[in-house]
Chains A and B, each alone.
Chain A
Amino acid sequence: MNFDDTPEEAAFRSVARAWIQANAPRELEAELKSGGFGNNGLKSVDPIQVAKAWQKKKAEAGWACLHWPKEYGGRGATPIERVIWGQEEGVYGALSGLFIIGHGMCGPTVMAWADEATKERLLPPLASGEHIWCQLFSEPAGGSDLAGLRTAAVPATDGSGDWIINGQKIWTSGAQHSDYGIVITRTDPTVPKHKGLTMFWIDMKSPGIDIRPIKQANGQSGFNEVYFTDVRIPDSQRLGAVGQGWSVSLTTLMNERLSIGSGMPTGFPELFDFCMNLRTEDGLAIDDRSVRSRLAGYAVKASGLKYTGMRAISALSKGETPGPENSIGKLVAGATMQELAMYALDLQGQAGLLSDPTQAAAGARFQQMLLRSPATRVEGGTDEILRNIIAERVLGLPGDIRVDKDVAFKDIPTSGRG
């Protein structure tokens, strides 16, 4: 049992480290380190421009999309090499946030379902950061119940074979910066919901697409609503067969859950530092027995996640597929951060109310965590959906009884009050 690299891993790490040291935008290091929650914190420069520049530089040297095949602009690296790269890229990895959806989800979906000419055209500029992609899945009426989506694609009446799309998507990260997207639509409402779906890739500059940022509960705007009004898409942009959209979407979602080794933050190190320095009327907060007990509880959660990640990396290192224990990361991290942030505010007394960074303790970091963490518990699978996944796929418990299973989509009730 050890944490050491194998000789091959060590060799890869030293090459990666040397390249990063020679090429990373070091002038941004301090700013990136102080990044907030929900954005990369860059204010001195255009975050889109620096992200694209860093991605282009990586692509030219063969460090973009490590897990992709070389012919599409990747490196053909092993999963463990991808993890090592992430460790070495460190704070600069935050620059790539703009590309996570494209590289992690849209690209693999296109790779699995598009024809060769399309792949050769679309994938290299996605890998090199020239193009940004978004994923148009969630809808106001289809969140956890994604297959309940209503955005409709119908054949154009002019006989061109094109599709006409109408509807609304929501929670689309980066839509306002995106050149392309993948969009899942309903093409047949007369069959049960999973069977009437079809996936397309789409040019986000197409006429009829209207992108509106969502002002979030924490005041930031990282997500968008995307409205489709008579948007025309050629049939050549279809991914998979008509009616096969659900299977195509599973390719995308499986890739979402494959991002391993990128431990989710809990906020524990920040809270520990804070308590080490906070003076109360009885002395340092960390000397208070009740504070220590709370801290210990958070400490073992943060540590448990860290070493669960190490176990997953070890499985990758041996060429195995990591086990289901990885599904716990977001479930634990989101709820922990939410609770821990409120505790940090409680320790500040009434002053915990202040979220002005010039006034609030620790630069208002805990106030930011408090306001952002509800989203962590919802996005990419709610806590409740994750618990269902653990219960069903890990523990083997029965699936939910689905009352809409064999019902034509158009006949499924849409209001709980009749």
Chain B
Amino acid sequence: MNFDFSDDQKQLQDQARRFLADKCPTTAVRAVLEGGQTYDRALWIELGEMGFLGAAIPEEFGGVGLGHLELCVIAEELGRAIAPVPVSSSIYLAAEFLMAAGSEDQKRSWLPKLASGETIGTFAYGEGLGRVTETSIKATVAGGKLSGTKSPVPDGEIADVAVVAARDGGKVSLYLVDLNGPGVTRETVESIDPTRGQSVLTFKDAPAERLGPAGEGWRLAAEVMDRAAILLAFEQVGGSDRALEMGRDYALDRMAFGRPIGSFQAVKHILADMYVSATLARSNAYYGAWALSTGSSELPVAAATARVSATQAFQHCSKNNIQVHGGMGFTWAFDCHMYYRRSNNLALTLGSQSTWEDLLIDRLRQRNDTPAAA
């Protein structure tokens, strides 16, 4: 049995960690948070040059052609660094949509530019308050022109191209829309984590090109969101580990009552529980990585499992990191709130925790009903 990453993959992870320690310290995240920029453009371009963005994109489409296990370890490091770059929108979603459903032309047009970071993609499907369901999608396409409003759209302000879920008469289909083209209005809105910003996109007769078969949009979206959920789970696992380390380090340094606070069991047990949730999430994320890389029929179960577990862990670790830091953890000057903000962003961005809990139970049930299940 070899339920682990290979030595080469671990080496790649180490390389990504060192790169990000150098290029993406928390001061870089803070620069975006404090409003100087919408994302770290220089870091984004370098991530492209290093081949990190294109790790899972085939060489013929401008990527590095490694695979999804490699992208998983890179995602973990991006999560650890809470990198202020649109990687989930552009790589885990837009590029995955193109690889899953794009025509040869569409792949040739967009994938090389997504892999290099020159172009940013996103996925626009929700239309306001509440869970997104197939019936909640109202945007329409008629004669190749898209109209409707999508909100919130992650990285909508900086994206060049969006995969948009809309209907042409009947069922939901997916469309590629050039956000720099006519008929597109963007409005950036405040959100809990400005380092991965949110926008409202309004389309009025914007040119839209179908991606994938007509009427298959909802199925495709579910498939690609499963893949993205696993990659995001690795970001969450990386973030959990870092939040745990921050809490541990502070508990070792901070003195109270003449002792390091980490010598009090009340504090030790908080940190031990953070370790437990981070470990469970890591193991579940590995399950997701295995399913993603092998194309297993278990992928839907594995994705929901990885997602629910990772969301729990990052939420748990980031909030308790603040708790261990006490009052200092609630200052703007300390970094704890940036992890807390990111954990809440990641918990919601691809559909809320309760949405994924529902999906997990549906899928476990289907698996139980399938006699051939492994």
Show the binding face of A for B, using Cβ within 8 Å.
1-6, 9, 80, 272, 276, 286, 289, 292-293, 295-297, 299-301, 303-308, 310-311, 313-315, 317-318, 325, 328, 331-332, 384, 386-388, 390-392, 394-401
Contacts and interface: CB of A to CB of B under 8 A. Distances in A.
B72 to A, nearest CB: 9
7 contacts: A1-B6, A303-B284, A305-B283, A384-B265, A391-B262, A395-B268, A398-B263
B272 A387 contact: yes
Nearest to A275: B361
A295 B354 CA distance: 11
Given A300-B309, A395-B275, A401-B263, A2 B268 contact: no
Given A303-B284, A304-B284, A308-B279, A296 B272 contact: no
B293 interface: yes
Contacts of A384: 265, 269
Residue from A311, A388, A396 whose CB has the most chain B CB atoms within 10 Å: A311
Given A1-B290, A318-B2, A307 B357 contact: no
Residue from B5, B6, B269, B294 whose CB has the most chain A CB atoms within 10 Å: B269
B200 to A, nearest CB: 29
A272 B366 CA distance: 12
Contacts of B248: 395-397
A296 B365 CA distance: 11
A388 B268 contact: yes
Given A314-B3, A395-B271, A300 B263 contact: no
Nearest to A84: B1
Nearest to B72: A1
| 4 tightest A-B CB contacts, nearest first | A304-B280, A296-B357, A391-B268, A307-B283
A210 B246 CA distance: 53
A391 B260 contact: no
A303 B287 contact: yes
A314 B361 contact: no
Contacts of A301: 280
A297 B282 CA distance: 15
Contact of A311 (B269, B272, B283): B283
Interface string B267-309: 1110111011001111110110110011000000000110011
B37 to A, nearest CB: 36
Contacts of B357: 292-293, 295-297
B109 interface: no
Given A296-B308, A304-B281, A390-B276, A317 B1 contact: yes
